Structure 1
Amino acid sequence: MDTYGDLPFPRTGLALDALRLARDTESPAIFNHSMRSYLYGRFLGERQGLRPGHDYDDELLFLGCVLHDIGLTPHGDRGGRFDIDGADTAAAFLHDRGVAADRVEVVWDAVALHLCFDVAIRKRPEIALVTAGAGYDLGPEGPALPEGYADRVHAVLPRLRAAAALHDAIVDQALADPGKAPPFSTPGELLRQHTGERWPTWRELMSGEAGWGDYAGI
């Protein structure tokens, strides 16, 4: 962790193990995004008056952030949506290290919900700040960072076209396995934009052979 200078990353053994897993399996752009998500999530928490170690568990916040896109890697690909695959992969990683089930559940929720902003921000800080920090790294809406802070962060964790890298990773997974991008999901929408494919409408889905006939005669 000396590489990151005075940036306030937790240095516990579990945090370092999670960092190594993400660094060794993710592309540099996605890994850097995951690390920055923690810094920005922590910053946004401070702006809400939340103190790490007092109002939330700082290690859990870091684990959720650093592993939130692990489902975009071959290691984390379990055949489902990348957010859910990532949550399952993070949970397995923590279970293997003897982490208590209630702590594993927090990280699972943080990873699984990070695309569901309106849900995640209503959850406990360790979950809400993962989503907030990841979103801030891609589009910094909200309170302004202290002067020079973004430059310090980017000097250590360069952006490497993070938004484009995430888009391409999600779409590449979906092109290889369309089941990872169901209609109306974020991966599904990105795949639709990429291919131009038309998704079925709600009525078409409800009128299919497996439906109950609610639209019959209408």
Structure 2
Amino acid sequence: MARVSQAHLDARRRQILDGAALCFARNGFHATSMQDVLKEADLSAGAVYRYFSGKDELIAAIVAEVLGEVRAAFEAAARLSPPPPPDVLVTSVLSRTLTAREALTVDGRPVFPRLVIQVWTETLRNPELAAVLQEGYAAVRDAWAVIVRAYQDAGIMRSDVPPDHVARTMVATAIGFIAQQSLVGPAPVEVLGDGLRALMSMTAPEG
């Protein structure tokens, strides 16, 4: 039997994850069955279960993949000296994350923001998914803290604020923007960049 290439395995896994993401965004986690995923991905049960044992594992894989990409992007930025300013950095990372999945849409709208909202809800009943999410957010926050320390070392950010406090604020900003994409409608990531740039430019009034 011919050996299946890694590229083929990766492409099949991508096909399954994309199919699952579309189903989850369209109908929610609980209203989606594994049969729905099989139909969307156009694969047999054997092909899908070779990679994932069920819905919970699919959901966790989608979450871990996205958070891993975001973390990697911030870690790459941390290796620059100094890193790009927050408005440029956050806009760049979110743009890459959203663009990578822009082909996946439901009713003409990207699936990714809708999935974010659903994942938050699901963590209230699924401790395994909550653990995946917490681990992913912690890794992203740690990467941001490294960037903050680089800002402080370069003298471009005040040093009397703990890096983790800044990191948590920036993570919250990015998450909030993604949530808005789902709840109040899409907006280009440049909107977030402009807002951050304006906040960064504020100075204390004289007198």
TM over 0.5: no
Give me the TM-score of the superposition, normalised by structure 2.
0.33
Which structure is higher in helix share? 2
